[in-house]
A and B are shown apart, each in its own frame.
Chain A
Amino acid sequence: MLQSRAEPAAFFDALAEMHARAAASVGGTVDRMLSLAGYSIRLSFAGPGLVDALWPALSHLETSACRPPDFTILMGDSVSTGTAMPHAPWRPEDHREAGEIRGYCGHGFFTVYQFHSDLLTMLDETRATAVYWARNRSALHVGERAAPLRALLNKWAAGIGWVLAHGGAVGTDDGAVLLAGPGGSGKSNTSLACAAQGMRYLSDDYCLLSPDPSPTVHSVYATGKLFPHDVAHLPYYDQARHSHRPPDSDKLLIQLPEWRDGARPLMMPLRAILLPCVTGLRNTSIEESSPAAALRALAPSTIILSPSTGGENLQRLGRLVRSLPCLALKLGTERMQIPHVIKNWLNGQKS
């Protein structure tokens, strides 16, 4: 149980000092400014070490706006800067579910250690500042490269009434649909097939949802992931400049092409929640489902991202599924059909 701000505040100070020392050792910071759902976020990298690994996923959010940031993230890694992390002030048994650190979450702090990437994230809401520190950039898991800062963005989003949700999102001029379901349900294949056919692409796996006052989806990452055998059905991505396979991954990491001609919007109104499932049938169809089924598809893997925001996020997702049509997307084997079925459904909502 966290008794006061003093210990986490002191540790946060040590991390910020480490970041400054690391930056000084490699010639200063590399700063990037993002605009995410109207908020400005400054990424301050201690040298170039993490830039190549993480920036591609976020680069479409870059802004040249000069206004002061709403939120700052101090980023870096120990190996490329030769800067060790300070002593961990907690005990091994304080590493809890989803990596949250007991005693360092609460009173405006949120601290997570992601074991599989050797990655520490600590947020101080009072200072609107976070530290994101990896032991070694080469140890970053492919999931972190494809969708960096998830734990942090989830916590930050919860503070402003949004949810970083586990779902894909694609759309047309008529609005967007959210694709919700467990791994293997077809979210990535559907999202990337739609993007390949010129539909608007916001996400294949994680996106930001704001349920109020009207449901809206925001793009967070310019990446996607596909199994190599799926690329055979989506030759659009079978190009070296669009994809590569990290050594720790069974999937190809896709870098979505340029945000051209408005095809890569950053925000769209949501019109429906689609629950993809693979049928083995030839044709794709859309059928009625239920808000309860949508909540089952969307909530567990979203809530698990950050247990400490679980209650408020579940309520927000509840409001979202109540306010939108919830439909089953029965995926056929004729993959080129899928985007047309979604486009036709969205087009039909205009009347």
Chain B
Amino acid sequence: MFRYSIFLLVLVMALGPADLQAQQQEDSVSMKYMLEPVDISCGRFIYLPAADIQTFDSKFLSEHPSEQLSTLLSDYANVNIRSYGYSGLTNVSLRGAGSNHTAVLWNGFNIQDPMNGGVNFILFPLYFVDEVQVQKGGSSALFGSGAMGGVISLNNKLSFDKGINAGLYASYGSFENYKGGLSLNLSGRKAVFQIKTFAGSGKNDFPFVNTEQFGRPEMRQQNAAIKQWGFSQENAFLIGKRQKLSTHLWYVKANRELPPNMAQVSSEKSQLDESLRASAEWQYRITTGSVNVRSGLFFNKLRYSDTENDFMALHRNMQSISEAELKLQPFDRRDHLNLGLNFSYEKAQSDQYAGAPERTRTALFASYILRLIPKISLKLSARDEYVDEHFTPPVYSFGAETDFFGPFSFFAKYSTNYRIPTFNDLYWRGGMAKGNPDLSDESSWNSELGMNFAWDKKSKRVLTVHSSAFYSRFTNLIQWLPEMGIWTPVNRKEVLSRGVESRLVYNWFHRDWLFKSVVSYSWVHSTLEKKASNEPDEVLHKQLILTPEHQGNIQLKLRYKVWSFVYSQNIVGKQYVTSDHTDSLSAYTLGNIALAYEKTGGAFPWSIRFRWNNIWNTVYQTMPGYAMPLQNYELIVSIKFSSKPIKERKGKI
């Protein structure tokens, strides 16, 4: 399949060079310059180099209502996904960092789990999200603990003056996967009300050849069923000309069986996840900026059970996060100053903790964009946090951007970052393991150089190219080691991560035709530089396990009037399973096809989409021994109701 990939890449490159032009309007998966000074949810990204951020907008997401967030990130953002089977647990990793080194923002709140530092992606149905942004590289100065490898931001965006909008989608996929969702949005001049609900279930008993068992039997995946549902309710109000109040409420519940490794013949493991998130935001515009205050409450519950081995564990946690920001443009419309205060409270309960540990966190942060001359901007950020009774190391970031050279622009960034230990690191007890309350914070520094090329020929032929190279060092990383027969965490490891990321988007418009191609590639060389005392010397300076050095995506889209066809190819390089590289997972590449008929306009726009995944029947694994499905299909029907905007209906609401 690598030959196909290279062929496709060459084809795309051959189509591109004649016409180079930049555009954003049709590019729903685009690199955006975000200069909206009063956008609460993503406003802080403006203090990073703009080309650093990849955005998936609501139009793009509406074409993928039933998809999992982790699949989207893997298919379109070159994010490294580690999945324990089709319905199993999924972790993400950015730029060779650990899975708990990715901050996940929900409407601006960093909601990494205080117990394990991760985020359960199954609890973020794409149907509820209006915008996904991926920012790679350290940005703790802006987003706090954990933002060492990058940030994934999920936003809800409510618009005023859109009238009445309702939507419904239903999908049926292979292995008895049923999904559906409903939405209602009432949008007036001063108020917006939105409610969404979704439900889904799947048996996921896909066939596969178990190459790890005697006789290589053809089997069906067992213990892989999943059921989930959720609802969201959101409101926004304009109060006078200066104030905006918005609220967000999400509830998601997922019950899933955890499939066995191919080397095991059965599993009776399952996991129930439940999440409730509620937040309110108040924004007040002043002459030269705005004041933003927001507060959120987050409840998570996880119940893991293994009936085969008579084991059950219940974990619950709660976070309260409050933040106040003052955003100013003191001297010029292009200068931005942001001053902020964050106060968080976290509490957890688990059979594996003695009591219910809790902690308070207070952080001060500030950012500034300075335009020395019109085409050069400097971006500075700093943050310090007080956690219980100690200050974390102060962190900062420095970025510079210039667009002196016609279609070319360049940026540079340097940041220092940190992650505080999780409750598991500090307080775990049980299963021959014990947390260490004396742990220090992890830290890292990250440097990056990048280039953008944007070329637009009368908006008919458009090309954007983004390339960057990064170099990062992670120190004091927490590692669990055996000590007197008990596993306990210590600050020990050091990791050096460097690499190159490139992305090319080419669009060609002609009358009713659109051809669009996206090619992205990343090379991440992430190596262990300081090992634990019990590890052999052979692990030093070697690529980290389960971190592919090479990863790439190719998407080709052809649209004619209401019809569209998309072919995508994802490429994931070889991944080592053992730290001395004696064992590995093979590289793989997946081909997917999507065919859509989309009727836009009118009061009832509707669409029907057909997705054919893994068309080349690639046998692959993202975690060793966990089978993944071969060819599979999904049919998605969606219909919307859209009234005219209120301003055209004169006083009906």
Partners in one complex: no
Residues of B within 8 A of A (CB): none
Residues of A within 8 A of B (CB): none
